């Protein structure tokens, strides 16, 4: 801890000496479960600092943060720490950085460069869900067209909540005692395990679009299952136990997105083809109970305004190709999102409602929020996260309905 504090003192000294831009926020956040327990779902204080400088030929940014939880637990980290080098038609960015692609809101289809921090499921602000990754990124510009190439030398998976967390995904009912073995879950840090991403994007008066490709890793591991049978009676083997090996696999992804205006509407679309994903299967002869299939994931969305209420709708579908009934996931999974928001009192009072609805498992996440600007840069927020359903991505958290209060000071 002392080292971190000294680091901050050092950074402030540099800041004072180097005419460096500084901004950030301090936030206090408390959430209460609305079930009978009335437990706190979160008590958290945050200090987030952005130090940056942009010159004619170079720039940099460092984004240290501290999360301090109830009980004294503390998380300190660098969300971003990179250098920029500017050329007449090209920029290079080297270091830890968040890279965000695509036109979808709150849905990850072509947006697969930066992994996610799901410590608090998807409830954090988007810039806090995104994890910075060490990468070399080059952007080559031709007018408003950009060719972006990204090399990620070290794979970083999605950060999942610990098993003790209320946000840890529910485990399925195993047919026998299960043991997790993580010996196969490491992706070695070497050149052949690096990731590459490429994107061409254009911004025009008619339409904005992106075309992307990636040779990457799946961000969440496939669960390989080895079954152990009691063969004391060879005629009737009995399943004794299972061992689950989480393991990451390579993925090849190609996709694109677009956004255009039609009268008062903004129409958006995004889709990707994923090659080489493993799915769990009940097929007895499938090695380790997995089977390799391709799938597509796509979205259409529309933004519009009705009497000052900004509204957004998105429909999302994921479809497994060459599907067989033994695959444990549904062939098609469908979801929708809905956002409505409006500002009042000279834009000091903001009201919004954002909802995910999972058609496949009939669950939802409903997120009403009211925020008030107490003064310039000082914001008080009251909101709720309401889960419905009994299974699936949202229904599994049905006992985690919560209300929360945040006070945030931006400087």
Partner 1 sequence: MRYKTAMLMGILITATGLMAQQKLTGLEVMEKVYNRPKGNDMEATLTMILINSNGDKRVRKIKQYIRDFGKVEKKIMFFVEPADVKNTSFMNWSYDDPNKDDDQWIYLPALKKVKRISSDSKGDYFMGSDFTYDDLGNRKPEEDNHKILREEKYRGEDCYVIESTPKDPDYMYSKTITWVIKGKWIGLKREFYDEDGEYLKTLNVKKYEKINGVWVLTEVEMDNAQTNHKTIMKLSDIKINSGIPARMFTERMMKRGL
Site of interaction with partner 1 (CB under 8 A): 23, 25, 54, 59, 91, 98-103, 125-127, 130, 139, 141, 143-144, 146, 201, 203, 205, 208, 259-261, 263-266, 303-305, 308, 343, 346-348, 350, 373, 375-377, 379, 408, 410-411
Q: In what order do the strands lie in the sheet with 178-180?
A: 178-180, 238-247, 222-230
Q: Which is nearer to partner 1, 234 or 263 (CB)?
A: 263
Q: How far is the CB of 411 from partner 1 (least distance, A)?
A: 5
Find the helix or strand (DSSP H, E) in which 24 lies: strand 21-33
Pick between residue 275 and residue 343 the one whose CB is nearest to partner 1.
343
Task: Quote the distance between the C-alpha of residue 264 and its chain's center.
Answer: 30
Distance CA(278)–CA(281), nearest Å, equals: 9
Please tell me the distance from the alpha carbon of residue 106 to that of residue 304, in angstroms, as a whole number. 17
- Minimum CB separation of residue 62 from partner 1 in Å reads 15
330/373 with CB nearer partner 1: 373
State the nearest-atom distance from the C-beta of 47 to partner 1, in Å.
14
Q: How far apart are CA 339 and CA 349, in angstroms?
A: 17
Q: How many angstroms separate the first and last alpha carbons of the chain?
A: 24
Q: How many Å apart are CA 137 and CA 158, to the nearest integer?
A: 20
Q: How far is the CB of 333 from partner 1 (least distance, A)?
A: 25
CB of 317 to partner 1, least distance (A): 22
- Considering beta carbons, is residue 379 or 401 the nearer one to partner 1? 379
In the bound complex, what is the minimum distance in angstroms from residue 101's beta carbon to partner 1?
Answer: 8
Distance from C-alpha of 81 to C-alpha of 249, rounded to nearest angstrom: 28
Residue with Cβ nearer partner 1 (343 or 355): 343
Enumerate helices (H) and strands (E) in the chain, giving the number of each: 3, 22
**Residue closer to partner 1 (CB basis): 75 or 125:** 125
Output the smallest distance, CB 341 to partner 1, in A.
11
Token reading at 244: 């689950």
Nearer to partner 1, 14 or 306 (CB): 306
- 3-class DSSP assignment, residue 394: helix
Rounding to the nearest 10 degrees, give the CA dihedral for residues 190, 110, 211, 255. Answer: 100
Using CA atoms, how far apart are residues 42 and 367, in angstroms rounded to an integer? Answer: 16
């Amino acid at each position: 801890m002392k080292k971190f504090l000294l680091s901050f003192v050092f950074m402030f000294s540099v800041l004072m000496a180097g005419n460096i831009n500084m901004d950030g926020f301090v936030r206090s956040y408390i959430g209460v479960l609305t079930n009978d327990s009335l437990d706190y779902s979160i008590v958290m204080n945050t200090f987030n600092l952005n130090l940056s400088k942009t010159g004619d030929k170079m720039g940099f940014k460092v984004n240290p943060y501290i999360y301090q939880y109830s009980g004294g637990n503390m998380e300190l980290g660098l969300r971003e720490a990179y250098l920029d080098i500017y050329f007449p038609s090209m920029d290079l960015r080297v270091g830890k950085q968040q890279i965000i692609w695509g036109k979808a809101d709150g849905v990850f289809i072509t947006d697969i460069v930066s992994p996610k921090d799901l410590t608090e499921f998807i409830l954090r602000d988007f810039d806090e869900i995104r994890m910075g990754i060490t990468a070399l990124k080059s952007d080559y510009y031709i007018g408003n067209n950009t060719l972006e190439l990204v090399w990620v030398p070290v794979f970083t998976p999605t950060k999942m909540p610990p098993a003790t967390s209320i946000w840890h995904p529910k485990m399925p009912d195993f047919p026998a005692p299960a043991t997790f073995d993580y010996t196969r879950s490491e992706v070695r840090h070497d050149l052949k395990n690096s990731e590459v991403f490429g994107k061409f994007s254009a911004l025009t008066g008619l339409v904005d679009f992106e075309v992307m490709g990636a040779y990457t890793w799946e961000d969440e591991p496939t669960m390989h299952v080895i079954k152990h049978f009691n063969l004391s009676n060879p005629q009737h083997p009995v399943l004794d136990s299972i061992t689950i090996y989480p393991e990451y696999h390579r993925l090849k992804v190609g996709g694109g997105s677009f956004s255009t205006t039609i009268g008062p509407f903004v129409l958006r679309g995004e889709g990707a083809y994923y090659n080489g994903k493993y799915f769990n299967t009940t097929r007895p002869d499938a090695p380790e109970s997995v089977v390799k299939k391709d799938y597509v994931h796509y979205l259409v969305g529309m933004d519009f305004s009705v009497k000052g209420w900004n509204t957004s709708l998105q429909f999302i579908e994921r479809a497994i190709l060459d599907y067989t009934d033994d695959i444990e996931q549904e062939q098609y999974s469908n979801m929708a999102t809905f956002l409505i928001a409006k500002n009042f009192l000279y834009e000091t009072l903001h009201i919004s409602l954002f909802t995910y609805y999972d058609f496949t498992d009939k669950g939802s996440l409903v997120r009403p929020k009211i925020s008030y600007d107490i003064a310039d840069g000082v914001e008080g927020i009251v909101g709720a996260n309401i889960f419905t359903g009994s299974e699936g991505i949202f229904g599994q958290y049905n006992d985690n309905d919560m209300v929360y209060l945040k006070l945030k000071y931006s400087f």
